[in-house]
Structure 1
Amino acid sequence: MEIVIKATQFILSLSFLIVLHELGHFIPAKIFKTRVEKFYLFFDYKFSLVKKKIGETVYGIGWIPLGGYVKISGMIDESMDTEQMKLPAQPWEFRSKPAWQRLIIMLGGVIVNFILGILIYIMITFVWGIDFVKPEGVKEGFAVHESFKEYGFKDGDKITKFNGVEPLDVTDVNKHLFLRNITSLEVIHKGGTSETINIPENIGEIMWENGVMKPFLPISLPIIAAVEAGSPAEKAGLLKNDKIISVNNTPVFFWHEFTQLVLASKSDLNISFERNGNINNLTITPRENRTIGVLQNGLNSITIKHKDYSFLESISTGNSIAIWTLKDYITQFKYVFTKKGATSIGGFIAIGNIFPSTWSWQAFWSITAFLSIMLGFMNLLPIPALDGGHVMFTLYEMITGRKPNDKFLEYAQITGFVLLIALLLLANGNDIIKLFS
């Protein structure tokens, strides 16, 4: 059932984004009196699930859920209809329109993506407000990864400022370190002493290369929030809400201590735990990577505050969230071009797993807004077969006064299409490998 809910949310979100993106091309094409031959959700290679011709346009739903398209007359696109290009240009064709009109038609999709992302974030802020955790809301301070203790951080530190400024949500510290220019953190150590600790400028790269994406985690009680189905923990008999007492006779008071003991162990784990007031014992054989398949209940370690926004306040806040979402995505995009990044690229399974296993409209719209911003950026990349490739060639024409010939555009389109297929196979191949490993 969980898979069905995830898949339903994913398909609904994807369909919504595709239709609106293609409308971004369709509407200016119609305004400039350019003929649109097809408007499709998903691809219709060989046949369509549904199709109907209205006026000069065939509207339909294809059977390959890899995107969608509008087929515009007189344009070399994913349909690769080169026969049409051999005929004399007609007034209603894309190639007959001024460069500035063609540029607007090609930019229409990504403009819709960005505007849509902003509008959704505004709506989310207005309807649901924002939850956040202030520095004093992390009750026991943060558990610190060993690699960050070299900089002077200690378990139990309470982080109060990023670059000298108190953050809205202190639990965003890991994201800010990885994606934003955080060069110092102000902390209060146990005992009450305050210290400003400087951090290397390339801390994001260090985190990425070392695989330390969450160096700071709120210290929480060792209470299990969930047990993974089929995991060693489930097979041994651990249940949700069990409280860990000790591991291999070593007392455990906080979750990070439990994690450290599990990772450091070289053999089976003898675990004592409390359930319904009774102390129980069991033995667990961890996986090769020393995990056992349990999730912590982090809510017992933080105090969450909430703020509602007026409509006018939501406009400003929603815009800010959308802009930072785009900036953060652009910042992390550089890691795709590393060896580790190539194996980290995810496909449809990875994207589908972003959605929660229970239906939540707030989560659905939040993820849809993020995907809209992401698709807008990705489509702007100057790769032939993407909107950005068409924009690049059109700008070249506007600047130089020379239009690339149709044969060059045809070869560029084929090259871009092959590249995209290769990336698609890589991303979904990574998903399959992770699924079985």
Structure 2
Amino acid sequence: MSIVIMVGQLLLGLSILVILHELGHFLAARAFGIKVEKFYLFFDAWGVSLVKFNYKGVEYGVGWLPLGGYVKIAGMIDESMDKEQMAGPPQPWEFRSKPAWQRLIVMLGGITVNIFVGIFIFWMLTIKYGDTYIPMSSAKYGIVPGSIGKKIGLKAGDQVISINGKPVKHFEELTNPKVFLDNTVLNIQRGTERLNITVPGDILNDISAKGQAGIEDFISMLPRSKFSVDSVIGNAKKAGLQKGDSITAVDGQKVVFFDQFRDKLDSNKNKKVILTVVRANNTMQLPIVVDKDGRVGFYRPIKELFPKEDTLNYSFFASLPVGASKAWTNFTNNAKGLKKIFTGKVKAQNAVSSPIGIAKLYGGYFDWYKFWSLTGFISMVLALMNLLPIPALDGGHAVFLIIEMIKGKPLSDKFLEKAQIVGFVLLIGLMVFAFGNDILKSFHK
């Protein structure tokens, strides 16, 4: 059932964004009197459609290949490669008959809509949910770095005072993608010592290699905390551990914080350890078996798992700049990430995802906030990807139109046809790489 929900969310999110993207091209073309022949969600490869109908001279439909969508604009060299139409004389309602600036607007229509959709989604989410965050006052015991964080010099209990000289107000700032993308300097308070730790420019490669767990392996998304025992199951119950007990040591070594306790268990998987337990002012020793996952079988109280949060609520109009800022941050962060891929600082196999990877991000349960947050994020990613100057993408068409405007004459149809083929081959190759990469990751896991 979870797989069905996962795929369903992916198809719903992508369908909304694809339809709106193509609507941007459609409306811009119609505004300039350009004829649109087809409007399709997904591709009707080899002419096979699941659903189709005609309305006012336009064929609307749903194709069987769920890899995007398209509008077929009369008189334009696109993925349809309709050479027969292009062989005839230009007609006044065709794309090729319009001034270059109008054609450029048509080509940028989808990207523009994706940007506005992303801003709108984050605006609405801000109105509905506000901006919830963990204040630094809830992180009085500091951070819990994972193996990646420890590698650059972070230690459990460190207090991050500032990022690039700017004081940290929200705990979430520590795991914001900006930290991984800009050679960030973290100012740390460690006991009585104050020091700076630079986040290396290639750290994103280590983080992305671990997928969704990568950020947690840099700095835990929850502050360091003490712990106690709530409900008890399995080996813990057999050993006599009870609700309300306080665990103070493992094999005689003192533990105060949950990360210390977890580390002790991780180093003793499938082994027996001795827990020092305080119960009603009495201290006792309980032998207990640690399972293969490094667990003994108890749950912590809910209040320990969720630190105190604050929420900033905004008015209808005050939410707009907040939502726009979130959308733009997603756009710029992804642009910086792409730059790191192109410059070799991040391996493509660690950073590129297919719809399989995106479906996993949506998850196997439905949550409106998560669904719309991820859909808004993907809308900004689609805008960025379509801006890339690759033939067959909107950005490629835009580059050719800008060249035409500079030269004062259009590029030849023969050149545009070849460029379209090259772009199509590149996109198919990227798609095969992305799908193959996600499938191999699944098998590896």
So what's the TM-score if we normalise by structure 2? 0.82
**1:199 match: secondary structure:** strand
Distance 1:25 1:224, change over 3 A: farther
Distance 1:3 1:97, change over 3 A: same
Q: Which residue of 2 aligns with 1:317?
A: 322
How far, CA to CA, are the matches of 1:223 and 1:108 in structure 2?
56
Q: Which residue of 2 aligns with 1:342?
A: 348
Question: Out of 179, 182, 187, which is 2:181 matched to?
Answer: 179
How far, CA to CA, are the matches of 2:117 and 2:66 in structure 1?
21
Equivalent position amino acid for 1:343 in 2 = Q
The runs of 5 or more residues in structure 1 that have no matched partner are 226-232, 234-240
The runs of 5 or more residues in structure 2 that have no matched partner are 236-242
Listed one character per residue, the Cα deviations across residues 275-317 of structure 1 (whole Å, up to 9, x for unaligned) are xx9968335346xxx999x999896363211111111210121
Q: Which residue of 2 aligns with 1:380?
A: 387
Q: What is the number of equivalent residue pairs in this alignment?
A: 415
Q: Which residue of 2 aligns with 1:237?
A: none
Q: Which residue of 2 aligns with 1:162?
A: 163
Listed one character per residue, the Cα deviations across residues 196-223 of structure 1 (whole Å, up to 9, x for unaligned) are x3333x6232453586754332224578
Residues 29-428 of structure 1 correspond to what in structure 2 (within 5 A)? 29-46=29-46, 47-145=48-146, 153-175=154-176, 176-180=178-182, 182-185=184-187, 187-190=188-191, 193=192, 195=194, 197-200=195-198, 203-206=200-203, 208-209=205-206, 213=215, 214-217=217-220, 218-221=223-226, 252-261=255-264, 268-270=270-272, 281-285=288-292, 300=305, 302-337=307-342, 338=344, 341-344=347-350, 345-428=352-435
Please state how far the C-alpha of 1:270 moved relative to its aligned partner.
3.8
Please state how far the C-alpha of 1:31 moved relative to its aligned partner.
1.0
Root-mean-square deviation (CA, aligned residues, Å) is 3.6
How far, CA to CA, are the matches of 2:263 and 2:375 in structure 1?
36
Please state how far the C-alpha of 1:253 moved relative to its aligned partner.
4.3
How far, CA to CA, are the matches of 1:76 and 1:424 in structure 2?
22
**1:131 match: secondary structure:** strand
Which shows bigger deviation, 216-225 or 322-331? 216-225
Alpha-carbon contact 2:22-2:70 (below 8 Å) kept: yes
Distance 1:63 1:152, change over 3 A: closer
How far, CA to CA, are the matches of 1:310 and 1:148 in structure 2?
38
Distance 1:11 1:178, change over 3 A: same
**2:201 match: secondary structure:** helix
Please state how far the C-alpha of 1:64 moved relative to its aligned partner.
0.6
Equivalent position amino acid for 1:420 in 2 = L
Equivalent position amino acid for 1:205 in 2 = D
Alpha-carbon contact 2:229-2:244 (below 8 Å) kept: yes
How far, CA to CA, are the matches of 2:370 and 2:391 in structure 1?
33
Please state how far the C-alpha of 1:273 moved relative to its aligned partner.
8.2
Q: Which residue of 2 aligns with 1:2?
A: 2
Equivalent position amino acid for 2:67 in 1 = L
Please state how far the C-alpha of 1:326 moved relative to its aligned partner.
1.1
Equivalent position amino acid for 1:386 in 2 = L
Distance 1:400 1:291, change over 3 A: farther
Distance 1:147 1:115, change over 3 A: closer
**1:68 match: secondary structure:** strand
How far, CA to CA, are the matches of 1:336 and 1:272 in structure 2?
48
How far, CA to CA, are the matches of 1:140 and 1:435 in structure 2?
36
